[in-house]
Chain A
């Protein structure tokens, strides 16, 4: 057993707790540790960790302040607590500061603007219906693989107009992109990640040229990159192309997948909320925001101080790592009433931190909300109860806050 999980959450001195320990999320033991940070040391320095020294920011308002201040808290060179291996120096705008960030983001963000989403809604709904109609009623099955992964993989294939029969590759690349021990405490080897990303780049380079030769009237991400003068030659800058691909693949995968699972778990843990939902399906949009808050599918983002700066009464030094723990901010009772409760008709349900704030705020937020809204609209048409019948297995990571599996049974309306 490692240090953090053996240290008693109520009494261990804070300087003996490793807040970067990926087992805190895997074992779902993080709540009490981070509540103590919020109460006792909201801007907290940890001198030693497998990822080097870092500051933990755990209160909602402090996270908003750091996230909004891109001048003092840079996103370069990386936004994970761990460092990125040098062997594949992918460049992505999530890890850039303005103005370069703005140019690259502007080029791709219109693909997920609500105007385009309306075009995609019919296709997304038909795919959701097909997945739900294929579920084995009366049997126990894994919601993660059969619904959440299946759904988000199909969504990604749709967004890239990626060969549908090869779509499982997108999920694989997403899983390895941020899954190594040195990046986030995961179990993917550096070699496997390297090989996978090479294949990802090769596949998408071929797809780029194929699409260039056969242009189509479509809103897929590759076509949009080719249309915008700022990114029209991105294929000639392979590390920039790869970086954007990884960002869009990971950004559209883990997040929605784990919210699609987290919603089922939350409704089972809070059955009176499930009753509210059964009585009034118009609560789905506000429930979707509450699911995204309660789950917080990405646990943290990291910044780097660009100068010595006093923050929250602490002296942060130039080049120190500053980690914003989003899942803690979303459970901060200073900003959110009864934050550990899942309440589907909460006042101001969108006032959560899961999408981040400031110039790096999640570009796909409306797409995520739309996918989850459609999923729940169609679930409620078919099943009066998606029953959790066993314990969830959670992901070992300090970044992805999600599920490996969740056994369920579905009960038709």
Chain B
């Protein structure tokens, strides 16, 4: 099981044993990591599971798809590192990955 670290905006860090094949969003929710709302339940339709993937891990996390890009473009705090965690399917290559959570979800 790859170990993934999610860092809250206030600096609190959560390292989880992630399940391969499941989205990062669901892994975070199942491990009670705060700061991810996921209102739509993983349909790439609400934008409330926004995370910032650390640059070293952008390749492992993959690129965002066009619909995801459209949803991300509405986040006031979007950056080059922005992804929707419901669209990141966890793989073994993500062992050690670090993602940061935004100040707020909306």
Contact = CB atoms under 8 A, between A and B. Distances in A.
Interface of A: 64, 67-68, 70, 98, 102, 105-106, 109-110, 112-115, 348, 350-351, 355, 357-359, 361, 365-366
Contacts of B41: 348, 351
Contacts of B104: 113-115, 366
Given A114-B106, A115-B103, A366-B106, A68 B76 contact: no
A109 B45 contact: no
A23 B44 CA distance: 35
A68 B39 contact: no
B39 A102 contact: no
B45 A361 contact: yes
17 contacts: A102-B73, A102-B74, A106-B73, A106-B74, A106-B76, A110-B76, A113-B76, A114-B103, A115-B104, A351-B39, A351-B41, A357-B40, A357-B43, A358-B70, A359-B73, A359-B74, A361-B47
Prevailing SS type, chain B contact patch: loop
Contacts of B46: 355, 357, 361
- Decide if the interface of chain A is mainly helix, strand, loop or mixed: helix
A355 B45 CA distance: 11
Contacts of B56: none
A61 to B, nearest CB: 8
Closest 8 CB pairs of A and B: A357-B45, A114-B104, A110-B76, A350-B39, A68-B45, A113-B76, A366-B106, A102-B73
A58 B41 CA distance: 19
Interface in B38-61: 39-41, 43-47
A66 B53 CA distance: 29
Contacts, number: 57
B39 A70 contact: no
Contacts of B103: 114-115
B95 interface: no
B71 interface: yes
A110 B74 CA distance: 10
User: For B44, B67, B73, B74, which residue has the most chain A Cβ atoms within 10 angstroms?
Assistant: B74
A365 B40 contact: no
Contacts of A98: 70, 73
Given A357-B46, A361-B46, A105 B74 contact: yes
B32 to A, nearest CB: 14
Contacts of B43: 64, 68, 357
A113 B106 contact: yes
Nearest to A116: B76
